[in-house]
Structure 1
Amino acid sequence: MDAIMHIESALETAAALAASDDAPPRLAAAIRYAIFPGGARIRPRLCLAVSAACGAQNLGASAAAAGAIELLHCASLAHDDLPCFDDAPTRRGKPSVHAAFGEALAVLAGDAMIVMAFEAIARAFMDRPHLLPPLVQTIARAAGMPSGIAAGQGYESEPQLARSQYQRAKTGSLFVAATVAGALAAGADGAPWRMLGEGLGEAYQIADDIRDVASSPEAIGKPVGRDAALGRPSAALELGVDRAVALLKRLTREAVDSIPACPGADWLKAQVLIETLRVLPEELLRRAA
């Protein structure tokens, strides 16, 4: 079973548990709509890749950790698109959750997916209870305060935004969770993997900034030009596209260099380079070669 199949299986299990016979049908439908079909599943794939590189023997449990991180990501998208935040009508090439189900169910679906993430971790690691405290703490810090995705959303209500602080919370926190949780799920020390998550989180946010100014809604499945319209910090707007692409490449190299010694280090380094650089069109990458 490949990584995507492991991840989708974990997400299907979580969605099925949330849609039992006594669940509110429309809320259950909104949750499934928010999860499937997914995007690139970058964060859970990173989590599973780190776990495999660390020599995980049970990728099913690691996939549950990966799925939990994707549930947090899906929750953040449902909330981020709401009229009180970005007011985005589309996501992943289809109407956003609130556009399809209404604001109330979009809020509840996001809330439910956050709780589902913790349930997924608890179910997968009941036979290894010693791993639950660090995994729960890792997931919780990525979701909440003072520097998780809730904090990242909260910065948007502050009178001034520092790009690095805002983007570390809103984007980087889940990448850190992916690398640390991936190592923990394999029984390895999670602390040395934090730098990889931080570097990739910053790199992917810069890639998103670039796509927002240099791509199209059809290509990325969501509105473009939102950073300028909403006054959000953006590397592409601050530095220009070429310098932002050069920064993306440098951060990716630094992230790869930070990968700790592990059985699958060389394989993981190659995967990170491939996955990070393919998020941008080839012509943009050539401009800053």
Structure 2
Amino acid sequence: MNLQNRIERGLEQAITFATAGGKPPKVCAAVRHAVFPGGARIRPRLCLAVALASGDRNPDAATAAATAIELLHCASLVHDDLPCFDDSDLRRGRSSVHAEFGEPLAVLAGDGLIVSAFETLARGCAQAPETLGPLVTTIGRAVGTPHGLVAGQAWESEPEIDLRDYHRAKTASLFTGATAAGAIASNADPLKWLELGEALGAAYQVADDLRDTAATIEELGKPVGQDVAHARPNAVEELGLAGAVTLLQETVRKAADAIPECAGADMLRQLILGEAKRLVPKKLAQSAA
């Protein structure tokens, strides 16, 4: 089973549990709308790639970790789109959850996905119970405070924002959690994989800043120019377009170089380089060609 099929199967199983019986019907529909169809699934793919590179000793635990990470990512998107944050009616090329189902159901759907993520971890670690505690701690830290997704979102309410702290919490934290979780699920040392997660997360955020500045709505499937509209820090604003592109190239190289020696190093390197190309806005890629 390839990584994408493994992830989609894990997500389908998790959402089936979360919506068992189909009641209440509206919130069940909102939960499914938030997860399917998905995006690139880069975070769970990274988690599984590290697990495979580390021997994939507990595949159920690794799949559960990857699934939980994607559920938490989807929950963050649901909440990020709400009127109190980005007020975005578009996500992945269609209506965001609150635009489709209303704000109350969007809040509940996001909350439900967070709970489902940790339930999924508990079920998936039944055959490897020694991994459950470390996985819950690692993934929980990646999405909570003081350095996870919640902190990243909270920085947007501060009068002054340090770009590195903001990016590290809002984006890099879940990449770091993904690499560490993949290693933990395979009984490998997560510390060997932290540099990769941090570098890839930093690269992804710079790419996101570039896309917010230079891509189109059709290309992204969501509104662009959000950082300017909401007065948020942005690598392009701080470094200029050329400087941000240079920073992206540097951080991608750093991520590729951070892969530790392992059987799956080539697979991981190709995953990183392929994802980096996908993230560059088309007009920037064409001008560089």
User: Normalised by the shorter chain, which TM-score bucket?
Assistant: over 0.9
Aligned to 1:86: 86
Any conservation in 1 of the 2:44–2:70 contact (CA below 8 Å)?
yes
Q: 86-95 or 274-283, which moves further after superposition? A: 274-283
Separation in 1, partners of 2:92, 2:222:
6
Separation in 2, partners of 1:111, 1:56:
30
2:209 equivalent to 1:224: no
* Cα deviation digits, residues 206-239 of structure 1 (max 9, x gap): 1010011101101100000110110011001211
Any conservation in 1 of the 2:215–2:283 contact (CA below 8 Å)?
no
Q: How big is the shift at 1:285?
A: 4.1
Separation in 1, partners of 2:37, 2:22:
24
- SS in structure 1 at match of 2:279: coil
* Cα deviation digits, residues 233-279 of structure 1 (max 9, x gap): 10012112221111101001111111122221233223212222221
- SS in structure 2 at match of 1:240: helix
Amino acid in the other structure paired with 1:245: V
Aligned to 1:99: 99
Aligned to 1:155: 155
Any conservation in 2 of the 1:245–1:285 contact (CA below 8 Å)?
no
Q: 279-288 or 159-168, which moves further after superposition? A: 279-288
Any conservation in 2 of the 1:249–1:277 contact (CA below 8 Å)?
no
Amino acid in the other structure paired with 2:85: F
Amino acid in the other structure paired with 1:75: A
2:133 equivalent to 1:133: yes
Separation in 1, partners of 2:115, 2:193:
25
Separation in 2, partners of 1:87, 1:280:
25
Amino acid in the other structure paired with 2:177: A
TM-score normalised by structure 1 residue count: 0.96
Any conservation in 1 of the 2:210–2:281 contact (CA below 8 Å)?
no
2:266 equivalent to 1:266: yes
Structure 1: 5+ residue stretches without partners: none
Separation in 2, partners of 1:275, 1:216:
18
Separation in 1, partners of 2:276, 2:215:
17
Amino acid in the other structure paired with 1:274: G
Separation in 2, partners of 1:141, 1:58:
22
Aligned to 1:40: 40
Counterpart mapping for 1:202-281 below 5 A: 202-281=202-281
* Cα deviation digits, residues 4-38 of structure 1 (max 9, x gap): 11000000011000111273211111000000000
Q: How big is the shift at 1:87?
A: 0.5
Counterpart mapping for 1:114-129 below 5 A: 114-129=114-129
Any conservation in 1 of the 2:61–2:131 contact (CA below 8 Å)?
no
Aligned to 1:184: 184
TM-score normalised by structure 2 residue count: 0.96
2:10 equivalent to 1:10: yes
Any conservation in 1 of the 2:57–2:185 contact (CA below 8 Å)?
no
Aligned to 1:76: 76
Q: How many residues align?
A: 289
Separation in 2, partners of 1:153, 1:96:
18
Calculate percent identity across the aligned residue pairs: 56
Any conservation in 2 of the 1:31–1:113 contact (CA below 8 Å)?
yes
Q: How big is the shift at 1:286?
A: 6.4
Q: How big is the shift at 1:187?
A: 1.5
Any conservation in 1 of the 2:58–2:128 contact (CA below 8 Å)?
no
